[in-house]
Chains A and B, each alone.
Chain A
Amino acid sequence: MLHYLDTKLPQPTPTRRAFLKLSAGAVGGLLIGSVIPMRGVAQSAGAGDTLVTPFVHITPDNRVIVLSKHLDKGQGAATGLATLVAEELDASAEQVEAVFAPSNPEVYQNLLFGVQGTGGSTAMANSFDQYRQAGATARAMIVNAAADAWGVAAGDISVANGVVSGGGNTATLGELAVQAALQEPPAEVSLKAPDDWVYIGKSFPRVELAQKTRGSVGMFGIDAQPEDCLIAVTARPPRFGATLASVDASEALSMPGVVQVLEIPQGVTVLANNTWAAMQAREALVLDWAEGSGETRGTDELMEEFRALLDAPGNPSAPRGDAAARLAEAAQVVEAEYFFPFLAHAPMEPLDMTVLYDGETASFWGGSQIQTLDHGAAAAVLGLEMGQIAINTTWGGGSFGRRATFDSHLAVETATIAKAWLDGGNGARPIKLIYSREDDIRGGYYRPMALHRVRAGLDAEGNIAGWEHRIVSQSIFAGTPFESFVFTEGVDHSTVEGTSDTPYAIPDMHVDVHHPQVGVPPLWWRSVGHTHTAYVMETMMDELAVAAGRDPVEFRLAYLEGEPRLAGALRLAAERAGPAGPDGTSRGVAVHKSFNSYAAEIADVRLRDDGSVKVEKVTCGIDCGVPINPDNIAAQIEGGLGYGLSAVLREEITLTEGEVDQFNYPDYPPLRITDMPEVEVHIVPSTEAPTGIGEPGTPPIGPAVANAVFAATGERVRTLPFSRHGLA
């Protein structure tokens, strides 16, 4: 699909109002009643007469092109949005395709964020009504066009599987697109009753999969190949925050294919005619870095400082009851300390962004995940209005959070290079900035390091009697544009999520938190704070169940009486997992609520002869509201728990004197096929509004496996990853 390479769409300048609108109701009217003229996709379809609405275009050659406002980096958002449109439009599955919407927060904002962006497992949650209404609106215009053309009452016209019928006439959606484009969009549309759904709940096939099996041209950002494109790689400081003292680029500049070397605030950029030349020349730069404000501590020093903070009271998060008093009179107290390392996202497609800037306009191509921030940041660097810039979103080769950054550092660096190139008196040329894998692994924006200490009590009857919980971790949100949503009264909610707001009915609970300053840029990593909080909560619940002599499922259910959905997911998983111990395996259980979805995972684990952990099977129960696409829900649970398992087994970024110790996959080893368990996903039937599915599979897997390891060995793993203990 080549649309994005030659498409430049009009870019209305966003207003401040657009950034402030946060409720779904506030923007619903943008869709209904507004048909904006955009010819980009229609042109590339080779047709001029197309029904164009903000979210769906119908071409005379009978293609239904859904404009995905969300980046799809594997989670299936584009297919999900296409499903919603196809459902209400009554299109055939075969005629539906998806392209990415232009950057325009007025029209394409995430209704939960107020900016155009993808994250927090919100794609379906914020679009469920909006994209169904888009489909219904287009359908009404098609039906009205047919009514006019055939002299048949609109009420006597039906649409099914892409075919419009009435009064003995039939036509395809495409055949009616030209006339439909002349129709006024209806002021209101009604949506189908769930019983009438033909696609929702039925695993609509992914719209792009055939292309992904063929190496199709131009899908990913890194594949952008505009004519005459320069490749850029940047040498960045070895320590975060350090600055350039001097550079000798003479050898690099003498190498074949090298075009220019630029000093930019981010480091030193080599521009070359091909990637290999650029990377080789970067190696040849003679660089001297000044300390600057760089982080100089190592992991051990950071851990020591974090540990000291565990002894001092932190900022409380929703304390309730009197945990200290209950603990003082508890029959048993379980106390544990946990360490979680920095984690890199390491998506398979390293970061990249391509730009063409001519001094007056600029076009960007890449897997932009928060288009509005990237757009604004690029405009600021280039000194342009947002309306002079097009952000062309491409398919993302994974992200797991990495392509969404508060500071838009990739867009900023790409724009900075383009500006430096043009300001240097050169003619406009496309430039593609590429990260190597080493740039990615060593480049920061990690899941921050975290320490937890928990003291939890049991009374004589084996009931939880007081829970004190202290967390030390760098704040992800402090100082970012999203701070006010997440950071209040000294607490970054993304650090404590899953603890103080636990669904368990624990009446006497005191969670507090320290947010030390660390000179390493932190970032959300698939499921954010839940990556560590679920591990602590669920291994601690397991310890308590064992100490109380109670069954781990029954013990959890006793504290979930007010949480029927999480209890339901757990009951379903437990029922389907059957009796523990098939083939000599050991079992561990964990549940966790995140992104408004409810997940239970039951892991059956075996120890290999070398003592390493092999997870044989995971049985999952998931309640994510209306299951729009059951097969994709299963895929996201499989992938989400695989991603979480990868981290707990072997992933760890460490620092020595502020420098990252790891370089590439050999020393930051991801999960491989030999580690992957069989996964069974059971979906709790639901008519609730759809909630997240990209992330909720990740949090429970670590504790489920850790609990199974305890069952097998009697050992509690509290310092991650497992490879530190010979378990992986």
Chain B
Amino acid sequence: MTEFTLNGQTQRVEADPDMPLLWVLRDELKLTGTKFGCGVAACGACTVHIDGVPTRSCQTFLGDIEGAEITTIESIDTPEARAIREAWVELQVPQCGYCQSGQIMSASALLAETPKPSDEDIDFAMEGNICRCASYARIRRAIHRAAEIMEA
């Protein structure tokens, strides 16, 4: 039995401690917003926040998250996430949208840390998130736009 905080609620899960958090979320808890892309922490589609830090849930194991505070795309509602979502829709960022849960989790963590990120900051924070639709130019613009929204 592993106990942790998930989206503000205490959660207890009885499963293989080696099960990646990704599959705990998707299969055991039916939270499918967090996506499976590669399983080897190479694409960022499975990004969640663990204690506020963007983390690849496919390489984070149930046994390692005892007591941790986990936030997923379904529930993240920080001012940064709200600004990111608004900018994402305003600039029509997603195409297929499959990677966007992870993109939004990474981008909102970036803004929480760096309210006015430079292009280099964006490169560094977002390089781990693959988008096969190549919505990258819009992701960059939308992060800058979200920073403006936050400032206003």
A348 touches B138 (CB 8 A): no
Q: Which residue of A lies closest to B89 (CB)?
A: A209
Question: Contact check: which of B95, B98, B123 meets A635 at CB < 8 Å?
Answer: B95
Q: Which residue of A lies closest to B45 (CB)?
A: A348
B148 at the interface (CB under 8 A from A): no
- Given A213-B89, A673-B127, do A256 and B94 touch, yes or no (CB 8 Å)? no
A201 at the interface (CB under 8 A from B): no
CB-defined contacts of B136 to chain A, threshold 8 Å: 642, 671-673, 676
CB-defined contacts of A434 to chain B, threshold 8 Å: 36
Question: Contact check: which of B89, B97, B130, B138 meets A665 at CB < 8 Å?
Answer: B130
CB-defined contacts of B89 to chain A, threshold 8 Å: 205, 209-210, 213
Q: Least Cβ distance of A583 to chain B in Å?
A: 14
Segment with Cβ contacts to B, from A188-196, A215-223, A486-494, A709-717: A215-223
CB-defined contacts of B104 to chain A, threshold 8 Å: 213
Bound: A225/B28 CA distance, A: 11
Q: Least Cβ distance of B58 to chain A in Å?
A: 10
B50 at the interface (CB under 8 A from A): no
Q: Least Cβ distance of B39 to chain A in Å?
A: 6
Bound: A211/B73 CA distance, A: 11
CB-defined contacts of B73 to chain A, threshold 8 Å: 214-215
Q: Contact flags (1/0) for B28-59 with A, using CB distance below 8 Å?
A: 10111111111110110100000000000000
B135 touches A274 (CB 8 A): no
Q: Contact flags (1/0) for B119-137 with A, using CB distance below 8 Å?
A: 0001100110111111111
A348 touches B35 (CB 8 A): yes
A contact face: mostly helix, strand, loop, or mixed: loop
Q: Contact flags (1/0) for A620-657 with B, using CB distance below 8 Å?
A: 00000000000110010011011101100000000000
Bound: A347/B39 CA distance, A: 14
CB-defined contacts of B133 to chain A, threshold 8 Å: 74, 348, 398, 639, 642-643
Q: Least Cβ distance of B72 to chain A in Å?
A: 7
B96 touches A209 (CB 8 A): no
A4 at the interface (CB under 8 A from B): no
B1 at the interface (CB under 8 A from A): no
B151 at the interface (CB under 8 A from A): no
Bound: A398/B134 CA distance, A: 11
Question: Contact check: which of A399, A646, A678 meets B134 at CB < 8 Å?
Answer: A646
Interface residues of A in 301-350 (CB under 8 A from B): 346-350
B19 at the interface (CB under 8 A from A): yes
Q: Which residue of A lies closest to B143 (CB)?
A: A673
B92 at the interface (CB under 8 A from A): yes
CB-defined contacts of B100 to chain A, threshold 8 Å: 212-213
Interface residues of A in 420-436 (CB under 8 A from B): 434, 436
CB-defined contacts of A395 to chain B, threshold 8 Å: 96-97
B137 touches A678 (CB 8 A): yes
Interface residues of A in 23-52 (CB under 8 A from B): none
Question: Contact check: which of B20, B23, B33, B96 meets A348 at CB < 8 Å?
Answer: B96
A274 touches B28 (CB 8 A): yes
Indicate the member of A220, A222, A635 with the most B CB atoms within 10 Å: A635
Interface residues of A in 229-269 (CB under 8 A from B): 231, 256-257
A349 touches B96 (CB 8 A): yes
B129 touches A665 (CB 8 A): no
Bound: A383/B71 CA distance, A: 46
B122 touches A397 (CB 8 A): no
Question: Contact check: which of A75, A211, A398, A666 meets B98 at CB < 8 Å?
Answer: A398
Bound: A75/B95 CA distance, A: 6
A256 touches B16 (CB 8 A): yes
Question: Contact check: which of A208, A215, A349, A635 meets B138 at CB < 8 Å?
Answer: A635
A670 at the interface (CB under 8 A from B): yes
Interface residues of B in 78-110 (CB under 8 A from A): 84-85, 88-89, 92-101, 104
A679 at the interface (CB under 8 A from B): yes
Bound: A436/B39 CA distance, A: 8
B43 touches A74 (CB 8 A): no
B38 touches A223 (CB 8 A): no
B139 at the interface (CB under 8 A from A): yes
A-B pairs with beta carbons under 8 Å apart, 13 shown: A213-B100, A213-B104, A214-B85, A222-B32, A277-B16, A350-B37, A437-B39, A643-B132, A664-B38, A664-B39, A665-B37, A673-B140, A674-B123
16 other A-B residue contacts (CB within 8 Å) besides A206-B94, A676-B136:
A209-B97, A214-B33, A216-B33, A217-B33, A222-B32, A222-B35, A274-B19, A347-B132, A348-B99, A437-B43, A635-B95, A635-B135, A638-B135, A642-B136, A643-B134, A665-B130
Residues of B within 8 A of A (CB): 15-16, 19-20, 23, 26-28, 30-40, 42-43, 45, 72-74, 84-85, 88-89, 92-101, 104, 122-123, 126-127, 129-140
